[in-house]
Amino acid sequence: MKKLVVAVAASGLFATPAMAQVTETIDVDAEVTVVCEVSDLNTVVNFGELGRRGQAPRVRNGGVDAFCNQPSTVSLTSTNGFLKLNSNTASTSDEQDFLSDANGGLGQFAAGLDYQATVFGLTGDTSDLTANTAVTFGAVPPLNLRNVAIIYDTIAGPLPLIGGDYSDTLLISLTPNGV
Amino acid sequence: MRITPVIFFAMFVLPVQAHASSAGQDSRGSAIPASVNLELAVRGYIKPRCELRLDSNQIHAVLTDGNGSASVDLKVNCNQRLSVSMQSRNGGLMHEKHGIWDTSTGFTGFVPYQLTFDVKARGTSPIVVESKQIQAVPGGGSIGAIPYRADGKLSLNWKPEGNLFGGRYGDVIEIRVSGEGETGRP
């Protein structure tokens, strides 16, 4: 008996099968909302009775929480630029003296007083401020602070102060720097 | 699918059998056997094929401080057991300022995640890898079955390890699917 062995192969039969391979890519994009907030901040700071040149015990506003998930800048805006005498006639500048001759007194007096605020390790001074203009006092890293204090302190001036009430409104801003 | 070999066999075998069945002499006077047995070793070849189609090539997620997840539907069609290989470019969701911003205050710009490739077909097992482990080298494995026109899902699950920087995070995942081959090895 004659045996005829026929081996028929399709192309590539004995080759290692090429692995069918498919590649896909996915772009994953995510975002975290930028949040900057300060809570439990006292809205009124009262220095009490001032000394002759404006000396006063520092005021400590404790229990403040701050959260900002980006590096941010701290800026201060003062309505007056200083603690201003509540008077219809007082000058808008704390450097403006009440002259003794004009007021029938002896010597000079001031009608305003600078003060400072220490916020998250940065100290801002109203002597660097003009009315209603924000000034940046520095940058802070992302904040997750609980129960920290903001310190307010008057800056005693060279002249005695006119008797009366002094006030100002201070705006503390925490602004994320963005990316 | 390749059917060419089957057609080729039919055309080749039939003439041989017809010729061999005629007993007699050839032109040189040699005896021709009355019958010839032909033994054909027949082999065919089906090209391995695996298809992967994602419903979207983009995933967008909003991260919070808590656990989160995101997913994209997919379809696979394979004529071998499916092997999956996945690689993460960043090893996790990475903030665009990661490594630049100060992390000493407890913030992080990196969110690792668990990546799951799951196919809805009988006998399959999900492939689960950690993003950190598939950055330098791909990771994955076999789903254990042949997914014929099957649906599936690619899922990301994360749990942030700290406060997260605000802003945008990103990663790129590369998914490679293939048949395991005749040996069953990927």
Domain assignment present for A6: no
Does A159 reside within a domain? Answer: yes
Task: Return the top range by mean pLDDT from A157-161, B35-39, B115-119.
Answer: B115-119
* Total of domains in chain A: 1
Residue with tokens 């009262």: A46
Q: Is the pLDDT of residue A3 over 50?
A: no
Tell me the C-alpha distance between A15 and A58, whole Å.
87
pLDDT of residue B47: 81
Average pLDDT over residues A129-158: 92
Is the domain defined by B50-179 classed in CATH 1.10.1760? no
* Residue ranges, CATH 2.60.120, chain B: 50-179
- Taking residues A14-27, what's their average pLDDT? 70
The dihedral formed by the CA atoms of A92, A97, A99 and A104, expressed in degrees to the nearest 10: 70
Question: Can you tell me the mean pLDDT for A153-158?
Answer: 93
Q: What is the pLDDT of residues B1-52, one digit of tens each?
A: 333 343 333 334 444 444 444 455 656 666 666 788 888 888 888 888 889 9
Q: Kindly list the residues from chain A whose CB atom is less than 8 angstroms away from the CB atom of residue B41.
A: 5-8
Contact B15, A18 (CB under 8 A): no
What is the separation of C-alpha A123 from the centre of its chain, rounded to a whole number of angstroms? 11
Does residue A161 form part of some domain? yes
What domain range includes position A126?
A: 36-176
Q: Is the pLDDT of residue B94 over 90?
A: yes
Contact B45 A12 (CB under 8 A): yes
The alpha carbon of residue B95 is apart from the nearest alpha carbon of chain A, in Å, by 9
Q: Which two tokens stand for residue A89?
A: 């006639």
**Residue B63: closest C-alpha in chain A:** A32
Give residue B63's identity as a one-letter amino acid code.
L
Residues A129, A133, A139, A142: is their CA dihedral positive or negative? positive
Q: Please tell me if residue A7 touches chain B, with a CB cutoff of 8 Å.
A: yes
> For residue A27, what pLDDT is reported?
97
ipTM: 0.73
Q: Is A30 within a domain? A: no
Cα B121 from Cα B129, distance rounded (Å): 20
| CATH code: domain of residue A43 | 2.60.40
Across the interface, of B9, B107, B169, the residue whose CB is closest to A31 is: B169
| pLDDT at res. B26 | 58
Contact assessment for residue B100 and residue B61, using Cβ atoms and an 8 Å cutoff: no
